[in-house]
Structure 1
Amino acid sequence: MSGTTEDIVLSGEERGRETQPLHQPKKVRGASKSRQATDVATLTVKVEALEEALQEVVARVDKVEGDFATLENHTLEQLDNVRLDLDSHLNVEEEQAESMRRLEAKVMDAITAMQDHLNSLKASLESQAKTPLGAGTSGAREVRLDLPKPKEFKGVRDAKEVENFLWQMER
């Protein structure tokens, strides 16, 4: 026995029965050669059309992949530009903050110096106010001013007399 299905089927059916194949092959009618040629030609045209469509799809996919790569590169470049701009803005802000701190320190130093100078002037003025005008130190020279004394106001209610008295006082 060769071990094929027909051999097994035949050996099982030989016991008392006539040998019949289990499956009867369908009869194929012969098709005309012209119809077969037409079918082959149609199939060839369809295969060629499918190949052209496949080539077109491949070309489109290649174009999309190229466009995607270009878009990706452009996006990465723009992202790098944004990062550089952000870094430069952060650096500028840090520089401005440092400049503001230096300016604030200078202003505070100037205010402190002005306050110290003002305090020394106040102290000097207070010390001068405590000493009488005529009393000087031993090494200082006395300065006397000879100022004209205005005439006494006699209480007259005359405008000209009042103006003359005020004029003399101003002088």
Structure 2
Amino acid sequence: MAKNGNPVGSVSDDTQEKGHEELVNPTVPKKERMKDILAAIDSRLTQVEESVSGMGAQVEDLEAEDAAIHTAIKGMMLKLEESLQGEIDKVREEFMGELARMREVQEREHNSMLARMEEMQADSARMEAMQADLALCKRTLAAGASTSSSIEAKRIEAPKPKSFGGMRNAREVDNFLWGLDQYFGAVGIMEEDAKIKTASLYLTDTAMLWWRRRRGDVERGTCTISTFDDFVKELKKQFYPENAEDEARARLRRLKHTGPICDYVREFTNLVLEIPDLSDKDALFNFMDGLQSWTKTELRRRGVQDLATAIAVAESLVDFSSPRESTKPKEKRSSYAKG
């Protein structure tokens, strides 16, 4: 709109009428008509400029309003985003808290279930033990008091193991431990502490002094010997030669059948016991290799394939040949008598 209230691009009625009159009236001079036309055009341009200026102001007002609206919308969006983020954080915290409570409840239920299962297993084991005890009582009652007395007598009559004085010899250590194991089985000693105490009773001399020192270490906490296996390890560490197996292998390679075969078999068996990882095939080879040629030939003729059979056949040959060997000294003494 123009400042005078007329619409943009329009002219006043008087100007229009005057121009029209000048155009249709031929009596008006041409030069005056051109001036009037130019004046009308200038007036119209002025009105257009005023209208354009008014429209520019309106555009500026609209741009200002648009910027204000944009700023307001942006602020609303930021507030909405902050509000939504707060709600999301709150929901996340509530969810994580609920999840942690659910996990805690599940863990308690799991532990409770495990405890119940352990109790059930313990009850089952106790029930089986009670059933075994009941069956043992029934067998004992059925056998009678005489059988119980004979069992106790057999346990008391079990031969005592030989004492060990501390000799650093693999054979002596192995024989002592093997005797203890047999004795424990015969008298029914099953508890680890009882085995250790019983074994210590058969230690003498250097071995007894060693055990007194180790007991002191246990009491001070510098050593732990709580099982019979621990006792065996400590005993072997002290008295078992470090190169016992190597020495046994060397002696086995040098062992030859030069005297009675029973002596050869005994020495061979002792050496084999000191070599725990010796295979049956190697043991048979070493046994055959040390025999005299006639014995080796006979064992091969009979086709022996294992060590036990080879030893049995060799000992049977000694039984047949020993009478002939025993007659030779008598013949020598008789010849000496004649001389």
Which TM-score band applies after superposition, normalised by the shorter structure? Answer: 0.5 to 0.7
Match for residue 83 of structure 1? Answer: 96
Match for residue 79 of structure 2? Answer: 66
Q: Does 1:43 align with 2:56?
A: yes
Q: Aligned-pair distance for 1:129?
A: 2.0
Match for residue 125 of structure 1? Answer: 138
Q: Does 1:92 align with 2:105?
A: yes
**Corresponding letter in the other structure for 1:128:** L
> Separation in 2 of the partners of 1:33 and 1:91?
86
> Separation in 2 of the partners of 1:128 and 1:35?
135
- The alignment's TM-score, normalised by the length of structure 1, stands at 0.54
> Separation in 1 of the partners of 2:123 and 2:84?
58
Q: Aligned-pair distance for 1:90?
A: 1.5
> Separation in 1 of the partners of 2:144 and 2:107?
56
Match for residue 47 of structure 2? Answer: 34
- The alignment's TM-score, normalised by the length of structure 2, stands at 0.29
> Separation in 2 of the partners of 1:51 and 1:127?
112
> Separation in 1 of the partners of 2:144 and 2:123?
32
Measured on the aligned residues, the alpha-carbon RMSD in Å equals 2.2
Match for residue 327 of structure 2? Answer: none
**Corresponding letter in the other structure for 1:106:** E
Q: Aligned-pair distance for 1:45?
A: 0.7
Q: Aligned-pair distance for 1:113?
A: 1.4
- Which has the higher relative contact order, 1 or 2, with Cα contacts under 8 A spaced 6 or more apart? 2
Q: Does 1:110 align with 2:137?
A: no
**More helix per residue: 1 or 2?**
2
Q: Which runs of 5+ in 1 are unaligned?
A: 1-29, 136-171
Paired residues, number: 104
> Separation in 2 of the partners of 1:120 and 1:106?
21
**Corresponding letter in the other structure for 1:97:** H
